[in-house]
Amino acid sequence: MNELTINLQSKSNIPLYEQIYSYIKNDIQSGRIQSGEKLPSTRSLSRYLEVSRSTVELAYEQLLSEGYVESEPYRGFFVAQIEELYQLKQSPKRIPGGSVREEKRYSYDFTPNGVDLNSFPYNAWRKLSRDCLMDDRAEMFRLGEPQGEYGLREAICDYLHQARGVNCQPEQIIVGAGNDYLLMLLTTVIGHEHKVALENPTYKQAYRLFKNLSYEVCTVDMDSRGMDITKLTESNADIAFVMPSHQYPLGIVMPIKRRLALLKWANEQEGRYIIEDDYDSEFRYKGKPIPALQGYDSCDKVIYMGTFSKSIAPAIRMSYMVLPKSLLVLYQEKSSFLNSTVSKVDQLILQKFIEEGYYERHLNKTRALYKSRHDTLLGCLKSLQDRCVISGENAGVHLLLHFHNHMAEDELTARAAQKGVRVYGLTEYYIEPQVGKQATILLGYANMNEEKIQEAVRILDEAWK
C-alpha cells in the first residue's frame, strides 16, 4: 500500500496529524487495512496528502505508541497483528439531571441520626478555610502524615483528655475519613483471625462492615447495664464492639462495674480487644459527661473511636481512632504506608476550629439547643404516659418509647406515617429478629425545632389512640 486517500479537513479544530492517525486507526480496527500490511512511507504519504512530513511522522508515532503499527528498522511501518476487534463504543446518552432518590414525603421526621445544621458556624469555618489557604500555600498541598497532621492530633488529644477522660498521646491517634474507613484500617492492623461481638441491638453499619470484611461476627444480648459479659465469654469472640457511654440505639450508660468487668474480660486472654465507639457522648443534658471506658484501661486493651460527624456536621468526613500502644507498634509495621484519607487543608481548618475555641462554643451552643428540644419533647410526651414508658433521656439526640398498649411496632410506625410523621421502630436495629419484644419507638429530636416537636407529638397522640 502506498497511498491512503484521507479526506483532510484543514479548517477543522482537530490537528491534521490527529486526522491521519484516526483515519488509519479506524481502518485497522475495522479490518480495512490488514495486519502485516506495510503503511506508505512518511515521505510518500506526506507528498500525497500535501502535508509536512513531520505531521505524518507524528501520526505514525501515535499509532506506534498505541501499538497499532510496528516499526521495523530500515523497512518501515507495518500494521500489527491484532487478534480480535474491539470497538470503542460511543457512550450512550445519559439521562440528564442528578440521580433521583425516591423518598416518601413526611411533614415531620423524628430521625435518630439528625444533626441541626442551622447552628453550624459557617462564617467561622469560612474564615478559617480562607486563612488556611492564605498562608503556607505549597505546604498545604504536599502529601501529609499518614496518621494525620501532628497539630490536629495534638488538638484532638487535649480535647479527649479534658472532655472524655481519654488517656493518650498524639502518637496513638489516627485521623481518618469516617468511622467506616478507620474500621477498615484497623482490620489491616489486627488481621482477620478474630471473632467480633457486637451488642444487640446495635449500630448496624459496624455489623455489616465486619461481615463484609469476612470477619466472624456475632451479637451478644444486653441487660439494663449493657453487654452481658457471661454471654460475651461464651460467644468465644475476642473483640467486643461496644458503646459504653451512650449505647445506640438503647441509650444505656454502662455503669462502672460492668466497665471493669469488660476490661477484666479483655485482660484475661491475649489478643482480646475492646472497640469503644464513643459516637455522641458530647451531648449530655444532666451533670457531667460520662468518662470514656478508655480512661479506665490500664492494660492497653481499648481501641477508642470518635467522630466529628455528630458534633460538627456529617459531611465533614473526619473521625479518629486511639490505638493502644501494642497495636500502634503493629500499625507502624504493617499499615503506616497507607496515606491519610483526609485532605491537609481540612485537617488544618479543624485544628484551628478546635484550638481557637470555636469547637467548644459550638458544642455548648448545640448542647443547649438539643437540651431545649429534649425538654420540650419530654414535656409533650406526658400526654402519652398512659400508653408508654420513656427511656434513654438526658443524653444523645433521641429517646425511646416502650409501649404497653398492645399495639405492634409496625402499626405504630404505619399510623404515624399515615399522618405524615416519620418515627423509627427499634426492631430494625436488631441483628437477629426478636420474638415477643415490647413495641419500642425511637424519637430523634436534633433536627426538629420546638414548634415542630409540639405539632408532631400532638399528631402522634391522635394516631396512637
Q: Which of residues 118-137 bind a copy of itself (CB under 8 A)?
A: 118, 120, 122, 125-126, 129-130, 133-134, 137
- Give the contacts of 282 (CB within 8 A, at least 6 positions apart): 163, 289, 310, 311, 363, 367
Which amino acid is it at 198?
A: L
58 binds a copy of itself (CB under 8 A): yes
Q: Contact with a copy of itself (CB under 8 A): which of 9, 12, 256, 329?
A: 256
Residues in the chain: 465
Binding mask 82-121 for a copy of itself (x = CB under 8 A): xxx-xxxx-xx-x---xx-----------------xx-x-
Taking the least distance from each CB to a copy of itself, the nearer of 391 and 407 is 391
* Residue closer to a copy of itself, measured from CB, 145 or 450: 145
Closest C-alpha to 173, from 345, 367, 356, 342: 342
Residue 297 found at the interface with a copy of itself (CB under 8 A): yes
Query: Is 73 a binder of a copy of itself (CB under 8 A)?
Result: no
- What Å distances lie between residue 425 and 87, 378, 411, 413, CA to CA? 52, 18, 10, 7
Question: Does 67 participate in binding a copy of itself (rule CB under 8 A)?
Answer: yes
Single out the residue of 16, 42, 45, 170 in contact with a copy of itself (rule: CB under 8 A).
170
Q: Is 141 among the residues that bind a copy of itself (CB under 8 A)?
A: yes
Distance CA 139, CA 344 (A): 9
Least CB distance from residue 104 to a copy of itself, whole Å?
18
Q: Under the criterion CB under 8 A, does residue 224 sit at the interface with a copy of itself?
A: no
The only residue of 45, 49, 197, 254 in contact with a copy of itself, by rule CB under 8 A: 254
**Number of residues binding to a copy of itself, judged by CB under 8 A:** 110
Q: How far is CA 272 from CA 96, 124, 210, 228, 334, in A?
A: 52, 43, 16, 16, 19
The footprint of a copy of itself on residues 179-208 (CB under 8 A) is 180-181, 184, 187-188, 191-192, 205, 208
Q: Min. distance of Cβ 232 from a copy of itself in angstroms?
A: 16
68 bridge partner residues: none
In the complex, minimum distance from the CB of residue 117 to a copy of itself, in angstroms, rounded to a whole number: 4
Grid coordinates of 217: 461476627
Q: C-alpha 168: how far from its chain's center? A: 24
Q: Is the CB of 226 or the CB of 425 nearer to a copy of itself?
A: 226
Classify strands 108-109 and 424-425 as parallel, antiparallel or unpaired: unpaired
Closest C-alpha among 257, 306, 311 to residue 282: 311
Q: Does 287 bind a copy of itself (CB under 8 A)?
A: yes
Other C-beta atoms lying within 10 Å of the C-beta of residue 136: 12
Q: Contact between 335 and a copy of itself (CB under 8 A)?
A: yes
Q: Among 40-48, 333-341, 405-413, 452-460, which window interacts with a copy of itself (CB under 8 A)?
A: 333-341
Q: Which C-beta is closer to a copy of itself: that of 316 or that of 380?
A: 316
The two beta strands, 226-227 and 440-444, are unpaired
Is the separation of the CB atoms in 56 and 46 below 8 Å? Answer: yes
Contact status: 209 vs a copy of itself (CB under 8 A)? yes
Query: What does 402-423 look like in DSSP terms, one character per residue?
Result: EE-S---HHHHHHHHHHTTEE-
Work out how close the CB of 235 gets to a copy of itself at its nearest, in angstroms, rounded to a whole number: 21
Report 406-465 residues binding a copy of itself (CB under 8 A): none
Helix axes 204-212, 179-190, angle to 10 degrees: 40
